[in-house]
Amino acid sequence: MIEAAPIRTIGFREHSQRRALAGEVHARPYETLSAPVRASHLAQVGASPDDERAHLAVLLAGHGAEPPGDGAAYLVRDLGGLRLRWERHSEFSTYTALRFDPFETPFAAGALDLLPADWLESLPGELLTGVHVAVAGDLPDDLGPLFDGNPLIGSRVLGGAGEAWTDFRLHADGFGRFAVRDLGLTRGQTGRLVQRLLEIETYRMMALLAFPLARKAAGEIGRVDRDLGGIVTQLADPAVSQNDRELLEHLTRLAAEAEHLDAATSFRLSAAKAYHAIVTTRIAELREDRIPGIQTIAEFAERRLGPAMKTCESVSERQQLLSTRVSRAGDLLRTRVDIALEEKNRDLLNSMNRRAELQLRLQETVEGLSVVAISYYLLGLLGALAKGLKSAGLPVNVDLAALVGLPVVAGAVWLGVRRLRKVIVHKDGET
């Protein structure tokens, strides 16, 4: 006998999330089941995890079972002839009850019948999905009565090891129905098949939550788009007289409405895309083979679920395009305003230039008058000086002195004024 070598452990410094991430792929394992088995599945939305754990604790306490721990998101407990499975997802929670006793009529009594009615009626949140699954090897050849005579949808699955049948309708008890005929399924195949069928129905309903919102948003997008088209038409038509301020206020309001609409619907539309991808993946994992004359689950999803999801995708794309168009219209309006502002600035500069020219001419006129006025006063002083000198006995001719002094005084004053102006202009240029 070979002895096992001791395991060498090294004290690495691990990432704080390493253990949780490594165990995530095993967090919600499928059940290993064998026919006959009945499953009842509920998907509740709008409840807090704490309320759900507290509600579960009440049920489990009555059976002497361990309650869910703080922060738990998954739980499986055997309660006598019943196995209860609870899973918490990001937007919803699921409760799956399994019972393993033989049965003759698949949907006459479900697994939920083994749970207290008052406990079920007081489940936190609102019911979105309710479905019964019955797995047996001796299902009747005519399955129509099990589905109230509705058109059946079904196929051979998992390489012919079983058959899955449904009508994707809600029956009198408010639940959908799946019937699985066991033609050689292993325990693992049975568990995976039941889980996939329940997930197809749950994620199908979660994906369809976006459809009513998308139809409503489509009308709002159309209205905003028409208003935006009117603004763009006004901007593009030079013959139309527009008030840029009013256009800007209108465009700002449309941008706010587009952003509000996007904020109100983007999460739901993105979630619908993700849920639809999960539904498509789960249907592919069924590995369906056609039963002659019967529509397969994949065909039903493509023809019924596909158009609704295309509508959601179209609305999401239109929203993104609308935001882009509003942004482009805003850029166009800003360009228009900038051009108008530049034209006003150009006109203002031209007006300032004309005023500067008028001021220069006026200044030159004032300078000429100043030269005349200063020369007049200086000549008066010169004449007074000549008269004084003549009175003092000097041989001074007053008229001659005035005649000789006129060009000299006028020239000196003119040169002085020009020099003063040059000095002022030079200092103003330096500042």
DSSP line for 44-101: EES--HHHHHHHHHHHHHHTTPPPPPTT--EEEEEETTEEEEEEE-SSEEEEEEEE-S
Structure tokens at 370: 């100043």
Decide if pLDDT at 140 tops 80. Answer: yes
Structure tokens at 242: 């527009």
Most confident segment among 192-196, 226-230, 233-237: 192-196
Give the Cα separation of 185 and 161 in Å (integer). 5
Structure tokens at 209: 């939550």
Average pLDDT, the chain: 85
Structure tokens at 324: 């882009």
- pLDDT confidence of residue 384: 74
Q: Are 177 and 146 in contact (CB under 8 A)?
A: yes
Decide if pLDDT at 423 tops 80. Answer: no
pLDDT digits (tens, 9 = 90+) for 289-329: 999 999 999 999 999 999 999 999 999 999 888 888 888 87
Q: Are 405 and 413 in contact (CB under 8 A)?
A: no
Number of helices followed by number of strands (H, E) in the chain: 9, 8
Give the Cα separation of 396 and 382 in Å (integer). 12
**pLDDT bucket at 425, cuts 50 / 70 / 90:** low
The residues with which 86 forms a beta bridge, in sequence order, are 75, 95
- pLDDT confidence of residue 58: 94
Nearest to 247 by CA among 257, 232, 237: 232
User: How many other CB atoms are found less than 10 A from the CB of residue 344?
Assistant: 10
For the entire predicted model, the pTM comes to 0.76
Decide if pLDDT at 182 tops 70. Answer: yes
Decide if pLDDT at 240 tops 70. Answer: no
Structure tokens at 415: 């040169």
- 171-180, 189-198, 203-212, 358-367: least confidently modelled range: 358-367
Residue 181 φ then ψ, to 5°: -95, 125
Q: How many residues does the chain have?
A: 431
Q: Are 97 and 83 in contact (CB under 8 A)?
A: yes
Q: Bigger pLDDT: 381 or 431?
A: 381
- 38-47, 120-129, 160-169, 402-411: least confidently modelled range: 402-411
- 127-131, 153-157, 184-188, 323-327: least confidently modelled range: 323-327
Residues of the chain with pLDDT > 90: what percent? 51
Q: What is the mean pLDDT of residues 36-65?
A: 94
Helix (H) or strand (E) holding 44: strand 37-45
Angle between helices 187-208 and 244-286 (to 10 degrees): 160
Q: Are 180 and 133 in contact (CB under 8 A)?
A: yes
Give the Cα separation of 279 and 301 in Å (integer). 9
Give the Cα separation of 340 and 119 in Å (integer). 71
Decide if pLDDT at 424 tops 90. Answer: no
Residue 81 burial (C-beta neighbours within 10 Å; 0-12, 13-18, 19+) = exposed
